[in-house]
A = this chain, B = another copy of it.
Amino acid sequence: MSYCIASYRIHDDKADFHKKAQSIAVGMTVGSWTELPAAKQESMKKHLGEVISVEVHEPAGGERYADVRIAYPDANFSSDIPALLVTVFGKISMDGRIKLTHLEFSESFLSHFKGPKFGIHGVRQLLGVTERPLLMSIFKSVIGHDLDELTRQFSAQALGGVDLIKDDEILFENELTPIEKRVAACRKAAEAAQAETGKKVLYAANLTGHTFQLKEQAKKAIDAGASALLLNVLSYGYDVLSELSADPDISIPIMAHPALAGAYYPSPYYGISASVLLGQLMRLAGADLVLFPSPYGSVTMPREENMAIREQLITGSLPYKQSFPVPSAGIHPGLVPLILKDFGTDVIINAGGGIHGHPGGASAGGRAFQQAIDAALSGVSLADYAVQGHQELAQAIEIWGGER
């Protein structure tokens, strides 16, 4: 038989955790078991959930909790993420202090998904950058700006040598810069910048609006020359990402934004772990790049949670291409060596304020990051590299601080 396994952390001062686990395994599958006649049990056995493990923890001076794993037969749910989530966490999310901490997918379930269309390798191929970490920048401000202003911002970023530029996640369809117009304008600006720098740049346009029109919007963007899409996955549901990603006509990378994720992951008692939310499910659903709050800046996530997300985005235990991890928020050039230490080179260095806030402007901001990356990759300290004629890096260090 084929199962998907869900892990939970359950806090309770006095519950019999084994009994609780058993009641989930039965209640969320066949409903009742012991009262079924033997013949019925025989035919229902293939639908019965199974308690895989119950580890009770009673730390001295701490709160009592258990880590519980329950297997749900694939036969019970259709092979889509809404069905999986409702099965493993629908009703029980409301039943006490319980958090969904991990998922293990069956081969059969996984076989219905394609994962990222491009992944780390594919995005690198599009850019022609095989080894070094990629550099991304975000528009500084977008609301209320017209196409000219947006294009100026785009050019300044692109001329600084970044590999990717992304829309702000709060830029929705609007009259000043509808997606097909801003894609066309930014594409032109990207090509002009490339003529100057020799570097290609991908632009991720925010895909927004009503759910049932998203495919059409995506295709409109692609027709206008879009090179990537940004999606606020949690506001639409994972299945939307999954279907967009699986659509052969949507032939550009999709970047998943974590907007609203904080409604789920930060509580130790409730919700869904960041590694499930922004790691496992994003990759399963086909995100080529996944943003999440870095442990370095002001909007932070603990480092171990970042590492758990990264693990799920790149692990060989999922039969898909790897998703590019994009630790975000509060990133400045001084952090580059630390980011590479934590993430390796398969990472996207993503900055907003750390680019635009550079005293030399956004282009200088991009160059400062490039210099920091070059230094880190060649094993030179940022301070040493800065004084070797890398003025933009020196200025960045002066403002935001050096290597941590």
A226-244 contacts to B, CB under 8 A, are: 232, 235-237, 239-240, 242-243
A90 contacts which of B28, B94, B144, B260 (Cβ < 8 Å)? B260
Residues of B within 8 A of A101 (CB): none
CA distance A215 to B232 in the complex (A): 22
Chain B residues lying within 8 Å of A269, measured Cβ to Cβ, are 266-267
Mark contacts of A173-211 with chain B using CB atoms, 8 A cut-off: 1 yes-contact digit, 0 otherwise.
110000000000000000000000000000000001111
A401 within 8 A of B: no
List the B side residues contacting A215 at CB < 8 Å.
212
A30 contacts partner chain B, Cβ-Cβ < 8 Å: yes
**What residues of chain B lie closer than 8 Å to A86, measured between beta carbons?**
169-170, 232, 235, 259-260
Distance (Å) between the CB of A294 and the closest chain B CB? 11
Contact bitstring A80-113, B, C-beta under 8 A = 1, else 0: 1111011101111111011010000000000000
Contact B263 A299 (CB under 8 A): no
Say yes or no for A315: interface residue by CB 8 A criterion. Answer: no
Residues of chain B with a CB closer than 8 A to A232's CB: 82, 86, 90
CB-defined contacts of A240 to chain B, threshold 8 Å: 211-212, 237
Interface centre among A32, A46, A261, A262 (most CB of B within 10 A): A262
- Jot down 16 A-B pairs with beta carbons below 8 A, ordered by A: A32-B140, A77-B170, A78-B174, A80-B210, A81-B235, A82-B208, A82-B236, A85-B259, A89-B260, A90-B169, A90-B232, A91-B170, A94-B258, A94-B301, A95-B299, A263-B272
Residues of chain A at the chain B interface (Cβ within 8 Å): 28-32, 43-44, 46-47, 75-78, 80-83, 85-87, 89-95, 97-98, 100, 140-144, 168-170, 172-174, 208-212, 215, 232, 235-237, 239-240, 242-243, 257-264, 266-267, 269-272, 293, 298-299, 301
